[in-house]
Amino acid sequence: MADVKISYETVFILSTKLGEEGITSTVQKFKDLIAENGTIDNVDEWGKRRLAYPIHKEEEGYYTLIAFTSSPDFTAELDRIYNITDGVLRSLTVKKEAPEKKPETDKTEEKKEA
């Protein structure tokens, strides 16, 4: 059976109580974990942001978005690791859908309408 690879995006919010060094090491831990089980397409560190509502009496969190490609089985393991890692306030992993292609219209029709 062929190994199916699917594109995903995951975003996680880390507690600012971890400190600069703790945040850096935790982000690197997740990058390494994803790289071992798939391929990383893009890493976007949004940095420290104010939360929409307090989580565990915290007002700020460190946001990181990682786009990656892996097998479907890995996402459940990634969620499990998010849940047992100290300092992770929230996490979300979603499957990226391929963008829908709009049907190309005839350019002569566009000129007639104008």
Has residue 67 been placed in a domain? Answer: yes
- The answer, as to whether pTM is greater than 0.75, is yes
36: tokens are 């071992």
Q: What is the dihedral of CA 100, 43, 38, 68, to 10 degrees?
A: -10
Q: Identify whether 57 is part of a domain.
A: yes
Residue 26 in any domain: the answer is yes
What CATH number is attached to the domain comprising 44?
Answer: 3.30.70.60
Distance, in Å, from the CA atom of 4 to the CA atom of 58, rounded to the nearest integer, reads 39
Q: Does a structural domain hold residue 6?
A: no
Q: Does residue 43 lie within any of the structural domains?
A: yes
Q: How many domains does the chain have?
A: 1
Domain span holding position 48: 13-97
Model confidence over 25-74: pLDDT tens digits?
Answer: 999 999 999 999 999 999 999 999 999 999 999 999 999 999 999 998 99
Determine how β-strand 88-95 pairs with β-strand 58-70.
Answer: unpaired
Reduced to 3 states (helix: H, G, I; strand: E, B; else coil), residue 53 is strand
